[in-house]
Amino acid sequence: EDKVVQSPLSLVVHEGDTVTLNCSYEVTNFRSLLWYKQEKKAPTFLFMLTSSGIEKKSGRLSSILDKKELFSILNITATQTGDSAVYLCAVENTGNQFYFGTGTSLTVIP
Amino acid sequence: KAGVTQTPRYLIKTRGQQVTLSCSPISGHRSVSWYQQTPGQGLQFLFEYFSETQRNKGNFPGRFSGRQFSNSRSEMNVSTLELGDSALYLCASSSRTVGNTEAFFGQGTRLTVV
């Protein structure tokens, strides 16, 4: 059965801390892995990863994929209260179907 | 460029009723996917429509159905509502061009079944 597992389920950190969110997957016919940030309702796109070992970076956020070990990490450095959200990982297969993890809830305390 | 628009934003229905939700994708996007989000289950895929054809379907009962119109707008219908159908329903649009599968989400429709 195809599945995406995220860890930890929730995380509470102080402003300025660095966090690493994990996403492991077992999805046949992998095409891409995507990270989303969900604050209230609509998830907003962060990164799409298709190749192993190539880091994607956007400001304080970065992500990398390991297709051999079937996982990805999302790093957030110098966290701010505005980073508080649920971070979703999704894997798309070549049949255009997305599988989502249940998310990691991040709370950044001032 | 307008984003993905879902209507209505909130809905309260009673058990046994049916409901229709609407999603207007980003202009030019031909793919619309529907998801159900509940606290315990996370985001679960319902189905995807592309150029008016259902291309993928998740593991939901036949009470959940959808369609897509020629202008790419999509509707999702749930018949014989059950309490467990209470959830946030999200739709996502995508251009589905080669090398670009990024999906943009709407704000969702919060359905409460009482």
Residue of A nearest to B100 (CA): A48
Picking from A70, A80, A67, the residue whose alpha carbon sits closest to that of residue A101 is A70
Rounded Cα distance between A84 and B105, Å, is: 19
> How many C-beta atoms surround the C-beta of residue A54 within 10 A?
10
Select the residue from A51, A63, A96 to test the B interface by mutation, using most B Cβ atoms within 10 A: A96
pLDDT of residue A42: 81
Tokens of B58: 């998740």
Q: Quick: pLDDT tens for B70-85.
A: 999 999 999 999 999 9
Does B4 contact A42 at a Cβ distance shorter than 8 Å? yes
Tokens of A95: 């049949």
Q: Quick: pLDDT tens for A57-106.
A: 999 999 999 999 999 999 999 999 999 999 999 998 887 778 889 899 99
Chain B: nearest CA to A53, how far in angstroms?
A: 18
Residue of A nearest to B49 (CA): A96
Does A42 contact B107 at a Cβ distance shorter than 8 Å? yes
Q: Quick: pLDDT tens for B9-19.
A: 999 999 999 99
Rounded Cα distance between A7 and A18, Å, is: 15
Q: What value does the mean pLDDT of chain B take?
A: 90
Query: What is chain A's length?
Result: 110
pLDDT of residue B49: 92
Chain B: nearest CA to A71, how far in angstroms?
A: 19
